[in-house]
Amino acid sequence: MRLGVNIDHIAVLREARKINDPDPLDALGIVGRAGADQITIHLREDRRHINDYDAQRIIQNAPLPVNMECSLDPGIIEIVCRLQPHRATLVPERREEVTTEGGLDVVGQLDRISQVVQELRQAQIDVSLFVDPNLDAIGASAEVGADMVELHTGEYANIYAMLYTNLPHTPHAIQSLQLPRPQLKARLMEALEALEHSAIQAGKLGLIVAAGHGLNYQNVEGILRIPNIEELNIGQSIIARSVWVGLEQAVREMVALLHG
Ligand code: PXP
């Protein structure tokens, strides 16, 4: 299982003070040394963390392939094509969201997504689509010519948090917290099954499969049992842990879980 470390939150900390420290560029060598396989960054339209200059320097200097998350906005796609990361992951983006809340509506935006996939592939960038784990989204992802899909694990992570940590971290999680435990357990199984069915279907259609969002040192185990998933992209939990043990150790611990 490959690990992509999402380093956006290093820039979140910098932007909290609007100064130049910490520099996400300094994470590259540490993440590489700790055994991760990929650097993931998200150049958001509002530039709330990673900015254009970060993205340029990270892509030029990373010792690992860079996976750049981006919206379908034409201005953003133009920047991605110019910077040429190893891969672009297309994600939905809403200004007011705290983090990417759902998967891309591939079925509803088939034409626009096909066009962007072609543009990116012409620029020799691999294309992944961040989708909710449902078969329609997987079928449409193959239809538009994506190389891979990243399955949104947010639903699974929220239910897991409600069941086992009592620390709901999204409004959606708080709503569902009202459910009795047996129902939550059933919903956790459903979320895992949806991920598994989607991963299997994606494999059948020749798509490489990644997963991510809300994964941490506890809940990742359930995802590791799903066939076909080759890569996880994890940010929040690794950067949070690095506050206590340092970034290198935090990445090493996650790599050990993924390999072990
Ligand atoms: N994958 C995608 C497509 C994302 O948008 C994010 C969040 O930026 C992640 C993975 C990482 O999520 P988390 O920070 O919850 O680990």
Can you give the pTM of this predicted structure? 0.95
Domains and CATH numbers, the chain: 2-259 (3.20.20.70)
Which of 99, 101, 131 has most ligand 1 atoms within 8 Å of CB, for mutation? 99
**What is the CA angle 193-197-198, rounded to 5?**
115
Task: Find the mean pLDDT for residues 194-207.
Answer: 98
Residue 235's φ and ψ, nearest 5 degrees, are -125, -70
Which of 44, 70, 100 has most ligand 1 atoms within 8 Å of CB, for mutation? 100
Task: Find the mean pLDDT for residues 202-206.
Answer: 98
The span from the CA of 10 to the CA of 14, in Å, is 7
Q: Name every protein residue with a CB atom under 6 angstroms from any ligand 1 atom.
A: 6, 8, 42, 69, 89, 91, 99-100, 130, 150, 212-215, 233-237
120 pLDDT higher than 90: yes
Q: Is 9 a catalytic residue?
A: no
- The predicted-structure confidence for 31-41, as pLDDT tens digits, reads as follows 999 999 999 99
Q: Is 213 a catalytic residue?
A: yes
Q: Is 69 a catalytic residue?
A: yes
